[in-house]
Chain A
Amino acid sequence: MKLTRRQRHITHQTLIYAAAALVSVICVFPFYNAILTSLRTGQELFLTNYLPTSFHWENYVNALMVNGIARSLLNSFIVASVTVGICLLVSITAAFALARIKFKGRKYILFTILCVSMFPQVAVLSGMFELVRFLGLYDSLGALILSYTTFSLPFTVWVLTTFMKSLPVELEEAAIVDGAGLWVIISRIFAPIMGPSLVTTGLLAFIGAWNEFMFALTFIISNEQRTVPVAIGMLQGASQFELPWGNIMAASVVVTLPIIVMVLIFQKRIVSGLTSGAVKG
């Protein structure tokens, strides 16, 4: 049975919408659960209910005010943005060299950069701690920015290198023929086209830095400098055993929303308009 073009189109669209709905439900359901839990308290926290059963907004008040999640949101934002900013800046030039210029030792440099992020975090912790104290950065956001580059930089370098490699050579050659210097090639030709990959890499690296826990716990001890994961980890009940689940979920919802907002803002940029116009023009 051959379907007409229109029927095929409708089936295609239906499949896409169905898949999109299914995927969204699976991805969001635990988060939806978290939101429900954040509005409950007491024994209700432990039971399974798929619809809201109560609306205890004081969990949010607790999470935001009493334990200063608000301040830690700002700290996390600063740390993650600065880390990603530095990494992207440094990585673009490095990625260009690694992707487009053939020189001796290129493969080894790439591999060495990768090796840096292969150690378990717990091993690097003591050494990092010493370094941070040596530089006088203990208990400051600078300590985190510094230590996060150890895992963000290899990631950004590698991903940008890979994406740059798959850009057409013709672009560069056209520019060389036009007499453009390296710097012009990078800033005027490649950087704009790298838009999608820059946004993707930046977003993933941002989330990685936003959620890091171990370094944030060890290098910062005063409340004003805390970042979000540790602030959530500090939420405790009256005893060491009790987990104030409602508060923790409320805090987690509050913490995840900025990221979702960021994704909504940037997701249009992940759409590319890559080769159209760059080579043909």
Chain B
Amino acid sequence: MKKHTLGLIATMVAGALNTAHADTLKMECASTSTGKSYCDYIKNRFEKETPHKLEFVQLPPASDEKLGLFQQIFAAKDSKAVDVFQADTVWLGVLDKHLLDLTDKVKDLQPLFFQSAWNNDVVNGKVKAVPAFLDAGAMYYRKDLLAKYNEQPPKTWEELTRIAAKIQKGEREAGKKNFWGFVFQGKAYEGMTCDALEWIASYKGGTFVDKDGKITVNNPQAAKALDTAAGWIGTISPKGVLGYMEEESRAVFQNGDAAFMRNWPYAYVLAQDPTSPVKGNVGVIPVPKGGEDGQHAATLGGWQWAVSAYTEHPDASVQLIRILTDAESQKMQFKTVGVAPSRLDVYEDPEVIASAPYLAEFKDVFASAVPRPAVETKSQFPKVSKAVFNAAYDVLSGRSTGEKAVADLESKLKRIKGKQWK
């Protein structure tokens, strides 16, 4: 590690000496047309406001592939591949030692962002990334169907189950044989961890591992949460939901064959697309709480801007980060790409409010977002996540009960943790 710190200092000194020259930075950019127009905007600003130049690299959109690629690049300590990039919310613990420490340079930005998102990017007291945009789980529902059956949007899972069953029965009797009450992500992958976190946290069953690194999952509320979810399979959710990721569940809801869907905000814009059969009938509410004394819990997602620790241009990179995260850029990002901003002030902007009234609905969801315990479990989060989604999958597929599953999960997590999370 000493060699690494010395190298870092040397790089920064060299960087300081070099600020007179124009650096060429490499930044990651999405390969969509909307992404490209946003990147061009950033490029213009960056090259106008600083003496440096900006180039783009494109990386695979799928989270797993991107992470694998970064790991290879960082293992080789490559300084030429990329300087500034986006890290998924749960990568901070895993990539920690490969991210440049930004604490001193961006401390002043802290109060401007959603707290839960900001805190997620602070590892061991050091700021390693700045939130780029937010994502949080939300519950979508069919406004027209709820009106037709005289129901209000549910506040608890029990209400949702009841309403979904009622609507499903009604619609099937009316001839829609393949109608289902509720669809979500039930495949055994990271997305399931997000859904499971929401269920368990909404019943006040904790977040698998708490802020101090203690394993808290083995409790009766968590067991109840999983059993409730298992009760949906085959009754209000098709058995196939155990193989759904985000797109498969969206297909069912958007086609009009489901009353409720749990998904990320991206689905909203698509559901309102002119060709969508449910256009104009989609509403959004926070994820229901578990029983009257539960709490609303949405899993925090989103991406963060980070700097590679092996960059040869740390100062220029920080300047780029500051440009990327100021209010103007966030507003432009929202206008072009359509992702939810991570800065609080953008939500007050009248232009933004006028063009996207639904954003106000999401703001409350974001404020109460619950992060996965990636920061607490550090580089072992992938293992933790795998244990979690496998445990949840077992309960959902009927191979285990909630009580047994959370007890097994606790012992698995204990084995992973060993003496401490590292």
* Chain A contacts to B: CB under 8 angstroms: 41-44, 46-47, 66-67, 125-126, 129-130, 133, 217-218, 221-223, 230, 233-243
Contact = CB atoms under 8 A, between A and B. Distances in A.
Interface of B: 30-34, 57-63, 65, 68-69, 72, 75-76, 78, 81-82, 245-247, 251, 254-255, 264, 266-267, 269-270, 273-277, 337-339
Given A217-B65, A242-B266, A242-B270, 15 more contacts: A43-B255, A43-B273, A43-B275, A43-B277, A44-B275, A126-B72, A129-B76, A133-B78, A218-B69, A230-B60, A234-B58, A235-B31, A237-B32, A241-B247, A242-B247
Given A47-B255, A67-B31, A233-B65, A239 B266 contact: yes
13 contacts: A129-B76, A130-B76, A218-B68, A218-B69, A222-B57, A233-B60, A233-B62, A234-B58, A238-B34, A239-B338, A240-B61, A240-B63, A241-B245
Nearest to B275: A42
A240 B339 CA distance: 11
Given A238-B34, A239-B264, A241-B247, A42 B255 contact: no
Contacts of B246: 241
B280 to A, nearest CB: 14
Contacts of B277: 43
Which 7 A-B pairs rank lowest in CB-CB distance, beginning with the nearest?
A42-B275, A236-B61, A239-B266, A46-B251, A241-B246, A43-B275, A234-B31
A243 B247 contact: yes
Nearest to B57: A221
B61 A234 contact: yes
Given A42-B274, A44-B275, A130-B76, A236 B255 contact: no
B266 A241 contact: yes
A38 to B, nearest CB: 16
B340 to A, nearest CB: 11
Contacts of A237: 32, 266
Contacts of B60: 217, 230, 233-234
Contacts, number: 78
Contacts of A234: 31, 58-61
Contact of B30 (A43, A218, A236): A236
A133 to B, nearest CB: 6
Nearest to A243: B247
B33 A66 contact: yes
Contacts of B57: 221-222
Contacts of A240: 61-63
B39 to A, nearest CB: 13
A193 B60 CA distance: 45
B382 to A, nearest CB: 15
Among A41, A125, A130, A234, residue most surrounded by chain B Cβ atoms (within 10 Å): A234
Nearest to B56: A223
Contacts of B81: 221
A230 B61 CA distance: 11
A217 B72 CA distance: 11
Nearest to B61: A236
B86 to A, nearest CB: 10
A129 B31 contact: no
B31 A238 contact: no
Contacts of B273: 42-43
A237 B254 CA distance: 16
B264 to A, nearest CB: 6
Contacts of A221: 57, 59, 81-82
A137 B266 CA distance: 39
A236 B275 contact: no
A259 B30 CA distance: 29
A87 B255 CA distance: 50
Contacts of A217: 60, 65, 69
A223 B72 contact: no
B255 A46 contact: yes
A43 B32 contact: no
Contacts of A238: 32, 34, 266, 269, 337-338
B269 A125 contact: no
Nearest to B270: A242
Among A42, A47, A133, A242, residue most surrounded by chain B Cβ atoms (within 10 Å): A242
Nearest to B264: A241
Given A43-B277, A238-B338, A242-B266, A126 B32 contact: no
A59 to B, nearest CB: 13
Contacts of B276: 42-43
Nearest to B135: A239
A92 to B, nearest CB: 35
Contact of B32 (A46, A222, A236): A236
Contacts of B72: 125-126, 129, 218
A239 B265 CA distance: 10
A231 B33 CA distance: 15
A236 B246 CA distance: 14
A27 to B, nearest CB: 26
Contacts of B270: 242
Among B61, B62, B338, B339, residue most surrounded by chain A Cβ atoms (within 10 Å): B61
Contacts of B75: 126, 129
Contacts of B245: 241
A222 B80 CA distance: 12
A146 to B, nearest CB: 17
Among B32, B255, B276, B337, residue most surrounded by chain A Cβ atoms (within 10 Å): B32
Contacts of A230: 60
Contacts of A235: 31
Nearest to B269: A238
Among A218, A236, A237, A241, residue most surrounded by chain B Cβ atoms (within 10 Å): A241
